[in-house]
Structure 1
Amino acid sequence: MRMPNTRQITDEQEEIYMDAPMDGAIIVTGPPGTGKTVIAFLRAQVLKRKNLSVQVLMYNRVLQKYTSNVVDDQSNELASSTLLRWFKSWWVRHKIETPLEVGDKIYLDCPYENKDEVKNIGARWDKNHYNPKRRRRGQWYAPIEAYNRNTTGFLPWIAKDYDAPKIAQYQYDWQQILLLSAEYFAAGKAFNDWGHIIIDEAQDFPTRMYNFIRFAAGSMKNGAITILADENQRLSEDENSTIDDIIKALSISSERQFSLTENHRNTRPIAELAAYFYVGLKTGKPKLPHRKGDKPELVATTGLDQQVEYIVKVLKSKSVGEVGVFTQNDSLRRMFLNRLEKKLSGFYQVQTYSSKDSESNNIDRLTFDKSATVSILNRHSCKGLEFDFVFIPELQSILIDGSNLDAFKMNMYVMCSRAREGLYLLYSSKTNCLPAVIGCLPNESSGLLEYKNG
């Protein structure tokens, strides 16, 4: 991550990270490129100089890795983590024992010699679930239907641990967490003071999480919170919060609400195209930058291999830079990885990451802020990142209908705004009939895109 030097910090940014209250809760909103993540770390540095405990919390592991150089430059004086990993550690320290329940599965603590007993009353084996007691994968569980039919039979076997209750593997049950917290507090116990937490990409967390955070912070000596968010940059359609949701949940008064408006990342042509996909939510659009650059391209090809060739041609003709390739799913990510690794060997280092792929889930292999590097990522992993050149291939794979048009625009808004210097949209069509997604892009006469054939 590129941090600005003292001369590059604007008055707008300095007023927020230096002068905003250091206690209680504040919120900083701003469109892409306005420096919300920069503010997160500048504010963390100020808090650290005041000898206050501070944690910068990220939405995902890729963004945490992208910003790790900032933490390293501070000689480990700063701490960053994904929010879910930090919360897991914070919660476990309180030793609140709860049944090991994930979604519709209630896990069991069953020795091998008793497996037939639980199997006969409806238990099933989950080979992929990590069993903390055995320290390896594989654990018996009761499906919720079987458990409800025979609760008494399963009770002796219910596994318990100190982890917080979950709805799914990576999705905490914040309502249940709030109830357990109330019971814990009512018993006269105190929460471990988290000092000051700074939450980046805060719009991608559920409102119930903020209800819990407000309750927990209220019982702490410090318990301060800085929120950085842009509701126009929501990549998840399932769990997210609007700016108003967060403000209401944390009871943030108007004098504690701040906004960033200046785009420091994109060229003007890229910013203009990104603005086309703005859906009108509260955060607003950034002021258009003055920096000139090439017009983004929409490239028609006959297939994926021709798109690969076009990417290679562009990269070999440009000055060596840092490149992002954002795919719509994991299958496409693997296809572009395999082809670009071969085609760019000797010119660019090609890297990837996916939490779902055992061959690509080592986050430590990712390197950012390094020239001649191509990062191939699923679109869900691109939040908060920026690259000199961005390619968004296989656009025709995006299915568009009236019900998901806003979601499509938000996704495009996020992906397009990652590019500093060059932006390329590519699609495949073997007939004269254009894919439906092309109708959702600016037409050629708009001047926002240069239409080209690959």
Structure 2
Amino acid sequence: MRLPKLRDLTEAQRSVYLYAPKDAHVLVQGPPGTGKTLIAWLRAIGLQKLGQPVALCMFNRVLMKYASNVDGAQETQLRVTTARQWFLDWWLRAAIPPCKQGGDVLVNAPKEDKDAVKAAGARWHFRTWNPWTGRPGVWAVACEEWETRASGLAAWPRWQAPPEHPESKQEYDWDAIRDRVIQHSGAFGEDVLSLGTLLIDEGQDFHAGFYRFLNIVSVIGSSMKVKHPLRCFVLADENQQLTQFNSTLEDIRQGLGIAEDCRFSLVDNFRNTLQIAELAASFHAGIGAIPVMPQRTGEVPLFVECRTIAACVGRVVTWITNHPGKEVGVLVFREPKRQEMHERLAAEVASIRGRNITVQSYSWESRADNPSDSLVFDQGDVVTVLNMSSCKGLEFDAVFIVDPHDCAIANLGADRFRMQMFVAASRAREWVEILESAPVRTDALFLQEFPSEELLVRDAPRQKPVAARVVQNVPPARATSPAAAVANWAAQAEVLARKHGFAFEDLRPKGCVWVNAPESFSKPMEKLGFRYASRRNAWWRLQ
């Protein structure tokens, strides 16, 4: 990402950048493509120049890696992290005493104290995460034994994990954490409370209790007159909620006690074409603001019933082949589909001659094989395969949304599907294509949520593609007969190619007309008298 100059900002962006207070909590509302992440970076760099502590917190590791890709980010030395990691680092510094209702108490003892810490009652846990080293392996004591062993282990730092939410191990019990912070606040020093500004992107995806916790840390820091009490700068859009525990704008406002004059809005869409923005708006769930429609125009997004996963992969590969130097996002609803698409695409693009195309992926389940640190953004000829939960805040030249039938509308509801589609479609700068690998019933639930063909063109299901050798054996008289040919065939082929994003080459009179469409595009191409060339993966016709 390239940071804009002050003169390039819109009036709304300039208002946030210049006039949002620095000594109070701030909430910025903005739909996709309005520049929230860029404003967060500008704000962070400005505060850093004033000598204030700053941390930029992202929803997940993928977005953290993407945000770290801003031009000049390395020179700023700005800390970019996930909100979860920021909190765990703070919890470690706070060193809140263990409680009986918690988990094991971890003890940070060096190797030379092995015998002493063991004699005091601690046991070595090989697989337990060590918060001091960030690796497995740490000394631990069961929480029910802590009171009787605490005095013998007092010489070493200890840590107990934050209380878990009773409904999910993936979320913390923020009210219990808040109570413990209040109970032990008298022991906190400057390093625990002088935190400066915490900028939170995609703020709607955090639990409402997280903001109540942040507010109490801020209040305690202010009351103790630390140098830089915590101030939060939250950027959010409640129509992009993708998590089980999320917050509305009102939850964030109440949790942090944000004053009305500390709320700002961004509305101008700088990312999408008009056609993509209209498609995304059709999935708007009626929560939050819709961005102002952009002036830039492009192609109408397309829905294709491919009927096989191989055909879905083929369409992505064809688009990549015909659009060199582009950045492509492939978004799926389920982890097994992410893995399959990643493997198939990596195998297929390897055969594209003269191109060095990177196919990368990430998910929490596959983080050992696909670490987030290895992801590359803002480079051409890169294909990124992600689950819906990992695509927040990103953008690509083209986005392919694969298998909407995996969305589980019957279980999660139509609003959840619409939010997912709103987020996914709005990632694209130039092109959106929705691919379905299974035959689609006319009463499919996801079809009922699709807009009209004015906003999303339907590509009718095709018969099983004819093998290339059969097409090449068709007698010339049949291929060029009036029944198969159409008047003004070259013009119609060019329109067809542009509609579907295929390359079109007219080499007449010395050569032929080429359309770089896949073999599965046989029905319209044969109707225009074209033949399929398997070596080039394209259709041709002479004058």
* Range moving further from structure 2, 401-410 or 50-59: 401-410
Query: Could you list the per-position Cα deviations for residues 298-346 of structure 1 after superposition, in whole angstroms to 9, with x for gaps in the alignment?
Result: 0111111111111111221224200100111111011001100011115
Q: Match of 2:342?
A: 337
The residue aligned with 2:438 is 429
Shift of the alpha carbon at 1:7?
A: 4.5
Query: Which of 394, 406, 422 is 2:403 aligned to?
Result: 394
Q: Distance in 2 between matches of 1:382 and 1:101?
A: 36
Aligned twin of 2:381: 372
Q: Give 1:291's aligned residue.
A: 296
1:53 alignment counterpart: 53
Which of 228, 233, 245 aligns to 2:240? It is 233
Higher alpha-carbon deviation: 92-101 or 189-198: 92-101
Letter in 1 for 2:251: D
TM alignment of 1:83-98, pairs within 5 A: 83-98=83-98
Does the CA-based 8 Å contact 1:98-1:165 persist in structure 2? no
Partner of 2:526: none
For 1:184 and 1:418, locate their aligned partners in 2 and report how far apart those are by CA, in whole Å.
44
Shift of 1:127: 8.6
Which residue is 1:66 aligned to? 66
Give the conservation status (yes or no) of the 8 Å contact 1:107–1:139. Answer: no
Aligned to 1:256: 262
Any stretches of 5+ residues in structure 1 without a counterpart? 112-117, 119-125
Is 2:331 aligned against 1:326? yes
Aligned amino acid, residue 334 of structure 2: N
Contact 2:409 2:416 in 1 (8 A): no
Aligned to 2:537: none
The 8 Å contact of residues 100 and 165 in structure 1, kept in 2 or not, is answered as: no
Q: Does the residue aligned with 1:218 lie in a helix, a strand or coil?
A: helix
Give the letter for the 2:241 counterpart: R
Q: How does 1:308-323 map to 2 (within 5 A)?
A: 308-323=313-328
Partner of 2:274: 268
Deviations 1:119-161 (A, max 9, x none): xxxxxxx99643669963699998xxxx9xxx6x897689962
Instruction: Please give the secondary structure, in 1, of the residue aligned with 2:325.
Output: coil
| Residue type at the aligned position of 1:448 | L
User: What is residue 122 of structure 1 aligned with on the other side?
Assistant: none
Q: Deviations over 1:390-448 (max 9, x none)?
A: 0001112222238611111111111110000000101133366563311211132xx00
SS of 1:369's equivalent?
Answer: coil
TM superposition shift of 1:30: 0.8
Matches within 5 A, 1:14-29: 14-29=14-29
1:57 maps to a residue whose letter is C
* Aligned-residue identity in percent: 35
TM-score by length of 1: 0.86
Give the 3 Å change call, closer, same or farther, for CA 100–41 of structure 1 in structure 2.
farther
| TM-score where L is the length of structure 2 | 0.72
Q: Compute the displacement of 1:189 (Å).
A: 5.7
Q: How does 1:164-313 map to 2 (within 5 A)?
A: 164-167=162-165, 170-186=170-186, 191-220=192-221, 221=226, 222=228, 223-236=230-243, 238-281=244-287, 283-313=288-318
Contact 1:353 1:361 in 2 (8 A): yes
Post-superposition Cα deviations, 1:23-63, rounded to whole Å, max 9, x if no partner, equal 11111001111111111001111112222221111111100
Which one-letter code corresponds to 2:328 in the other structure?
V
Instruction: Write out the 4+ residue segments of structure 1 that deviate beyond 4 Å after TM superposition.
Output: 99-102, 108-111, 126-129, 131-135, 137-142, 153-160, 186-190, 431-434
2:444 maps to 1:443: no
Partner Cα distance (2:366, 2:297) in 1: 39
Q: CA separation in 2, counterparts of 1:434 and 1:428?
A: 17
Amino acid at match of 1:343: E
Count how many residue pairs are aligned between Structure 1 and Structure 2: 429
What secondary structure sits across from 1:70 in the alignment? coil
Distance, in Å, in 2 between the alignment partners of 1:307 and 1:321 is 18
Q: Which moved more, 1:335-344 or 1:130-139?
A: 130-139
- Deviation string 1:193-215 (CA, Å, 9 cap, x unpaired) is 11111111111111111111111
* 1:293 partner letter: G
Work out the CA distance in 2 between the residues paired with 1:183 and 1:36: 36
Once the two structures are TM-superposed, the CA of residue 286 in structure 1 deviates from its matched residue by 0.4
- Higher RCO structure (Cα 8 Å, ≥6 apart): 1
Match for residue 517 of structure 2? none
Shift of 1:101: 6.9
The structural deviation recorded for 1:361 is: 3.8
Mapped partners of 1:19, 1:314: distance in 2: 44
Deviation of residue 355 (structure 1)? 1.8
